[in-house]
Structure 1
C-alpha cells in the first residue's frame, strides 16, 4: 500500500524561516524525477523542527508525482536487523508474493545471529533492491526515514547499497538525524554505517539553523493574538535560542498564565522561561546516558574549563567528557560560547537530582581539584562559599588567601564575602575582624565600626591595639561617628608612650605617628575638638614626610596650621611634602588634606594634581566612598576656579554614586557641592530642592559640612530673593565658625556674602562690621583671592568715590587670583557703582568684562545680571566669536596689542594716557583671561589664525623713541 501523499496538517509556526530548507529538498526531488538520484540528511538539535520540515516537504508539490514511503526509527530497536527498512518499506511489501526474498528479509528474526550470516544478508539486500527497483520502474520514489540516530546498522547499510546502485533511477532518500546523537553514537556500527552513507558525493547535508528574531516574531503572532512588543520578541528569542519546540512551549506556558505579548508579557518571560528551560533540561538529560548527566553536573559546579578538571569531577574519561559537552551544546544547554550552562534555572535542574550532602561533596571535590591544580585562591574559594560548613583544615587558609588577593586587586566586596565565612569559623579572630572591617569601610562603615570595636579587647598587645585603633578612628570618621574614637586614640597614645619608652624602634615610631595622625584628622572634624587639636598640632614636632604615617601627619598639621589664618607658607610647605612622594603607599587623607590647604593658598594647579591622584587611587581600588568624596572636593575646587561645567559634572557624578549606595544618605558633601554650582548656574530652585532633606543633624559634630551647608543655603536663599533669610544663615555660619575656633579668611568667606547682602538692602553702614572682620583675616592670610574679597566687602560698605576705589582694588586683586567668578562679580559690582555715579563709559567696560568672564566660567546667573546692567548703561555685548580677544575689554585689547608688539609698560601708559599701574592691571587681566603668563605667549596668541589684532588709533600710537 502506497503512503497517502496528503500529510497530516502541521503548525505553520514550526516552519517559520524554513522556506529555503524546504526548497532545497524540493530541488533534490525534482532532480530525482529526471533520474538524478541522491540523498539528503537533515540534521539539527532536538526541537529544531527536522520532522516538521520533512512532513512539509513530503506533503508538498514536489512529491505529488512520486511514491512516498515514510518511516520512523524508534529508540531501543537498533539491535533488530533491518527494523528501519521494515518500517520504511512495510506498505509495499504487502503486495509481494510470499516466496519473495524481500518478504523473507523483512520478517522479524529472519537475520538472527550475531552477526547475521553474510550470505543471508546478501540475499536480503538483493531481494529488497529488486522490490524497490520494481517500484522505481513504475514511478519516482521518495524514501523518508525519521530519527536515523536510532536506526539499526543493516538498514543504513542497505540504504547505502541502494543508493550506490541507483544511477539513472528516480530515487531520493531523505533522512533526519539528531545532531547531539552523533557524539552519543560515536564508534557504534550504526554510526559508521551512517557516515559511509553520507560520505557519498550525492548526499546533501542540511543543518537546520535556529530561528532568527524575525521568525520568532512570526511564531509569536500565531500563538498570541495581540501585536507583539519588540521587547517581547527579543526576550523570547534570547531565552529559547530560536529553538522552535522550546519557543512553542514558552508561548503555550505564557498563554496559559494569561500573559500577553506586550511589555508586561515580556517581563514575565524571564521567570516563565526559566521554568520551561528547567523542564527542557530534565527531559533531555533523562533520555541521555548517565555519563552525560554526570558531566552536566560537573559543568554546573565547575564551569566548562577543561577535561583535566571536568573528567575527574564527573568520574569519566576525557574523551567521554568531550562527547558529553558536544551533546549538551547541541541540545542548547550550554551558552553560545560553550562555557557555562545557559540559565540559572537549567543549572538548578541539572543539580536537582543531588541531595544536600551529595551536592556539598561534589563542591568540596571541585574545590580540592582546583586547589591541587594550583588555580587562584579566589577560584577555589568560590566553591567553598556555598558549603554549609567550612569543615576541612585546608579551607580557612584558602578563604583568607582569596580575601587578601581580592583586596589587592581592589575588590573589597568580594573580599568581604570570603571573610564573613571565615568569621563564622572563628568569631573571635582579631585578624579576620580587622580585615573584614577594612573591606567594609567603603561600603558599610557602620558595620566596620562594630567589628573593630569588638577587636579592641584588653587582651590584645599594645602594638596590635594601636594599629586597630588607627583603623577604628578612620572608620569612625567614615561612619560619621568620629567622637567615639577620640578617647580610644588618646588612651592608646598614652599606653604607647608608657610601654615604648623615650627611644622607640623605627617601626614603633611609625606606629605612634600613625595613631597621632589619625587623632589629628578625627579631632579636626569636630566642632568641639578642632580648637584643642590646633593647639596640640602647634606643639608637635614636624615630621620629615619620609613614611606614609609621616605624610598623613604632615597633611593633618597643614590643615590645622592653615586654619590659624597666618602666613600660608608653612602650611603649604607641609601640604606639598605630604603629597610629594609617589613611591609611598597612598593614604587618602594625606591627599585630601593636602589638596584642601593648597586650594586655600591659591595653589590651584598643585591642588588639582593632588586631587587627580586621589581620584585615580579611588578608581583603582574600588574605594567607592573615597572616590565620591574626591569628586565632591574636586567639584568645590573647580567651582572656586570658575570651571563650572567641569564642577557640575563632578558633583553630579558624586551625587549619583552616593544615591546608589546604602550609606549615600549619610554623605552630604556631594549635594552641597552640586547645590553651590547650581546657584551660580541660575538654578537656585533646583539647589533648594537638593538641600531639602539634608537637615544638618550633624551640626554638633562636623566642622566642614555644617558650615558649608549654611553658606550654600544662604547663597540659595539670596538667589531666590530671600535676602533676610540669607543674611541670617551667613551670620549663623560666622558665629558657629568663631565658636569652633576656625578663623580663616578664605575658608567659607561668609563675611563677604553678608556685606554684599547688607549693601543690597541699603544697610551699608551695617555691612562695615563683616567687611572689617574679613579684612583683618584677609591681611593675615594675604593671598590675592582673600584680599580681593576683602576689598569688595569694604567697597560695597563704603559710599562715594572711596567705595569705587575699593571696588577697583577688588577687581585688580581678584584678576590676579584663580577666583574667576569672584573676579566677574567684582567687575559687576564696580560697573554698577560706576553706573550709579554717572560714569557710563567706564561702567560699560566693567559690566562687559563681567559678562564676558561669567559666560566663560559658565556662571549663567551672573552673566544675566551683568548683561542686564550693561543694557541699562546703554551698552551692548559684542558678538561672541571663537577669537580669544572676544573675552577682552576694549582697553585690554589695546594694551594687549601694544604689549605683543614689544612696547614697554611706560610707553603703553603714555600712548594711551593712563597710568603704569593701570597698564599692569590690564595686562594681569589679559593674561588671566587668555590663560597665559608672559608677553611672548601673548604675541603667539594674537598671531594665531582667526585672531584679528586690535588697530591702535593714530593718536594713541607710541611716540618715536618710547617703544
Structure 2
C-alpha cells in the first residue's frame, strides 16, 4: 500500500471516530489508480459504519429521495437538506470520481454544497485528472475551503513497485510482462490491464495495440492529436515545427502538451520534445493508417523545405514518400543531385535515378533526367550503363537541347571509355544555336579531338602537325594582337616591374665604368635555343614577345660581343 492510500485511510478513520469532515482532492493522470483508490476508501468507510454515496451525487440522492423534482435551485435545496439529515444521523462519505467529466450544473452544485455543509461530519472525496484545462473544475478547486481541504497527487510507480504489482497479478508469469514495461509508464491501471490480457493468453501484437489504444483514449482530443502527429515525426522533435504541423501557435499547445507530459507518453528535454521510449512512439504511430502517416511525413518535409533545409538532407525521405508524377519531389531530388555530385557522384546518381522512377515513362521529363544521370554514371565507373542510357535517349530525343547534351556526354566519354563517331556527335552540337551548349562544347570538344588526333600519331592535327589553332598563317605572318602579344599570354600590369632579363640591356652604367663581357654559353645551349626557336616558329610563335613588352624578335637590341 502506498503512502497516499495510507493517508486517505487515516482520514476516513478520523471521520468515523472523530466525526471530522472536510474535502479530499485527488489528482493524477489517467490509469494512475484514482478509481481503485476511491474504491478502497469507500470499502473501508463502509466497514466503519459511515454512510457512503458512491454514485453521481444527484443520482444517489434521487434514489434516496424519489420526490426530488422541480427547478435546479429546488433540486439543490432538496439535496442539501438530504445531506444534512444524513450527517445528523452519522458520518457521511461522498465519493465523486472523474470530476472533469461533470457538467457545469453539477460542478456548481458541488461548489455550493461544500461551502454550505462545512463543519458537518461529511467527508467529500473528489478525483480528477491532472493538467486538464477545464475552467469549471479549476474554479471548484479554487473555491473549496482551504482549511478543510487536503490535496493528493498520484504519480507513476517506481520500478520496484511495478515488479511487486506484476508479481501479485501474474505470479510466476510476471516475466512475460517485461517487454511491455515502456508502454505502461508505471501506471497501475495500465499495468492491471496488460496483466489481464497476458493472463488471457493474448498475443504480443494484441497486447501492445490494446495498451496503447487505452492510453490514447484517455487523452482529450487536442492532446491525442498532438501525440499522434508527433509519433510520425520521429523520436524527438522541435516545438516550433510541431506547432506548424498542427497549425496552432505555441501558447495554444501548452494545455495539451501538459496533458501528454503528465500521461508519461512524452518528456521535455532541454530544447526538444521526445517520447518516453522509442517503442512508445512506434506503438502510437502504428495506430495510424499508412496513408495518413505518409501524408503527415510529406507535410513535414514540405515545411522543412520552406524553412530552407538543404535538399540533400531531405532527398531520401521525400523520394520514399513521393508518388509517380510528383514534380515537386523530382525537383528536390534534382537539386540534391546537383549539391551532392561534386563530392559524392554515387549519391547524386541515386537521387537522379529515383527522380527517373518518379517521372512518368516515355515522357520528355524522363529523358532529360536520363541525360543528367549519364555523366554521374560515367564518373562512378558504370560506363556500360551510361552508354546504354545515352543511346536510349538518342533514339528518341525530346528536344534539340537534350539531344545536344547527350551528344556532348558521349563525346566526353571518348577518352577513358571509347565511343565511336565522337566527331559526328560534336558536329551535331555545332549546328545547335544554344549558347550554353556551345560553352560546354568548348570545354570538352578540345580534349576529345586532341585525344583522337594523338591516337593518329601527331599533336592533334593531320600528319603530326600542330593543332589548327597554332598553325602559322600563310605568308609567314604571325598571329598577334594588340602590341604584339598573343591572346593566351598574360599581360603585365601597366607600370609594373619587368623581368630582370629584359632590363639588363637597358641598364645604364656609371661613367668610366668598364664594360664586362658576358661569357658565351656552350654550343649545346645555342643548339637548344635554336631548337626551341624552330619549334616556336612552327607553331606561329617565333616572333611573339614572350613578356608582352611590345617588341618582336627583330626589334631586340643585340648584345655586345667582345
2: CA distance between counterparts of 1:203 and 1:437?
77
Q: Is the 8 A contact 1:297 1:314 kept in 2?
A: no
> 2:34 corresponds to which residue?
50
1: CA distance between counterparts of 2:376 and 2:174?
50
Q: How far did residue 144 of structure 1 move?
A: 0.8
Q: How far did residue 29 of structure 1 move?
A: 2.7
Map 1:860-939 to 2 at 5 A: none
Q: Is the 8 A contact 2:29 2:155 kept in 1?
A: no
Map 1:358-507 to 2 at 5 A: 363-377=297-311, 381=315, 384-387=318-321, 389=323, 391-402=325-336, 419-426=352-359, 428=367, 429-430=369-370, 433=373, 452=386, 454=388, 464=409, 489=416, 491=418
Residues 349 and 214 of structure 1: CA distance in aligned 2, closer, same or farther (over 3 Å): same
Residue 350, structure 1, aligned to residue 334, structure 2: no
Q: How far did residue 56 of structure 1 move?
A: 1.4
1: CA distance between counterparts of 2:239 and 2:29?
23
Give aligned pairs, total: 409
- Could you say which structure has the greater relative contact order, defined with CA pairs below 8 angstroms and 6 or more residues apart? 2
1: CA distance between counterparts of 2:354 and 2:70?
65
1: CA distance between counterparts of 2:231 and 2:210?
18
1:136-171 superposed Cα distances (whole Å, 9 cap, x missing partner): 334332211011111133433343334345555433
Q: How far did residue 52 of structure 1 move?
A: 0.8
> 1:768 corresponds to which residue?
none
Q: Is the 8 A contact 1:381 1:398 kept in 2?
A: yes
1:564-583 superposed Cα distances (whole Å, 9 cap, x missing partner): xxxxxxxxxxxxxxxxxxxx
> 2:52 corresponds to which residue?
69
2: CA distance between counterparts of 1:235 and 1:411?
44
Residues 192 and 65 of structure 1: CA distance in aligned 2, closer, same or farther (over 3 Å): same
2: CA distance between counterparts of 1:418 and 1:244?
50
1:849-889 superposed Cα distances (whole Å, 9 cap, x missing partner): xxxxxxxxxxxxxxxxxxxxxxxxxxxxxxxxxxxxxxxxx
Residues 163 and 293 of structure 1: CA distance in aligned 2, closer, same or farther (over 3 Å): closer
Q: How far did residue 177 of structure 1 move?
A: 1.2
> 1:701 corresponds to which residue?
none
2: CA distance between counterparts of 1:211 and 1:323?
24
Residue 240, structure 1, aligned to residue 184, structure 2: yes
> 1:210 corresponds to which residue?
156
1:878-935 superposed Cα distances (whole Å, 9 cap, x missing partner): xxxxxxxxxxxxxxxxxxxxxxxxxxxxxxxxxxxxxxxxxxxxxxxxxxxxxxxxxx
Determine helix, strand or coil for the equivalent of 2:52.
Answer: strand
Q: How far did residue 50 of structure 1 move?
A: 1.3
Determine helix, strand or coil for the equivalent of 2:127.
Answer: strand
Determine helix, strand or coil for the equivalent of 2:71.
Answer: coil
Residue 299, structure 1, aligned to residue 230, structure 2: yes
Q: How far did residue 493 of structure 1 move?
A: 13
Residues 392 and 248 of structure 1: CA distance in aligned 2, closer, same or farther (over 3 Å): same
> 1:690 corresponds to which residue?
none
> 2:2 corresponds to which residue?
19
Structure 1: tracts of 5 or more residues without a match: 1-17, 73-83, 95-102, 112-119, 260-268, 470-486, 516-963
Determine helix, strand or coil for the equivalent of 2:321.
Answer: coil
Q: How far did residue 452 of structure 1 move?
A: 4.8
Q: How far did residue 196 of structure 1 move?
A: 2.5
Q: Which has the higher helix share?
A: 1
Q: How far did residue 208 of structure 1 move?
A: 2.0
Residues 374 and 461 of structure 1: CA distance in aligned 2, closer, same or farther (over 3 Å): closer
1: CA distance between counterparts of 2:247 and 2:226?
9
Q: How far did residue 319 of structure 1 move?
A: 5.4
> 1:556 corresponds to which residue?
none
Map 1:732-751 to 2 at 5 A: none
| Aligned pair partner of 1:159 in 79, 92, 110 | 110
| Aligned pair partner of 2:58 in 78, 81, 86 | 86
1:532-554 superposed Cα distances (whole Å, 9 cap, x missing partner): xxxxxxxxxxxxxxxxxxxxxxx
Question: With structure 2 as the length reference, what TM-score do the two structures score?
Answer: 0.57
> 2:96 corresponds to which residue?
145
Larger Rg: 2
1: CA distance between counterparts of 2:117 and 2:170?
48
> 1:219 corresponds to which residue?
165
Residues 147 and 377 of structure 1: CA distance in aligned 2, closer, same or farther (over 3 Å): same
Residues 277 and 407 of structure 1: CA distance in aligned 2, closer, same or farther (over 3 Å): farther
2: CA distance between counterparts of 1:416 and 1:179?
54
Residues 196 and 233 of structure 1: CA distance in aligned 2, closer, same or farther (over 3 Å): same
Determine helix, strand or coil for the equivalent of 1:59.
Answer: helix
Q: Is the 8 A contact 1:377 1:401 kept in 2?
A: yes
1:674-719 superposed Cα distances (whole Å, 9 cap, x missing partner): xxxxxxxxxxxxxxxxxxxxxxxxxxxxxxxxxxxxxxxxxxxxxx
Residues 220 and 431 of structure 1: CA distance in aligned 2, closer, same or farther (over 3 Å): farther
Determine helix, strand or coil for the equivalent of 1:24.
Answer: helix
1:735-787 superposed Cα distances (whole Å, 9 cap, x missing partner): xxxxxxxxxxxxxxxxxxxxxxxxxxxxxxxxxxxxxxxxxxxxxxxxxxxxx
Q: Is the 8 A contact 1:419 1:432 kept in 2?
A: yes
